[in-house]
Amino acid sequence: MFRPARHKTQHRGRPRIICLGPEAQRILAPYLEDCAADAYCFTER
């Protein structure tokens, strides 16, 4: 799951939750292996 800090409907007070499927998890696994549990893997724009 990914929860962006900012999103276009945040003014409505609802969180945005993006679920990552099995293929996305497989692709991201090598990047996440080297990250600490509380570190960011990618930066937001």
Contact predicate 20/7, CB 8 Å = no
pLDDT tens, 2-44?
Answer: 788 888 888 888 888 888 899 998 998 888 887 777 777 777 6
Which residue has better confidence, 32 or 45?
Answer: 32
Q: Which domain holds residue 4?
A: 1-45
Looking at residue 13, its pLDDT comes to 85
In the chain, how many domains are there? 1
Return d(Cα 13, Cα 10) in angstroms, integer: 5
Residue 45: pLDDT band (50, 70, 90) is: low
pTM over 0.75: no
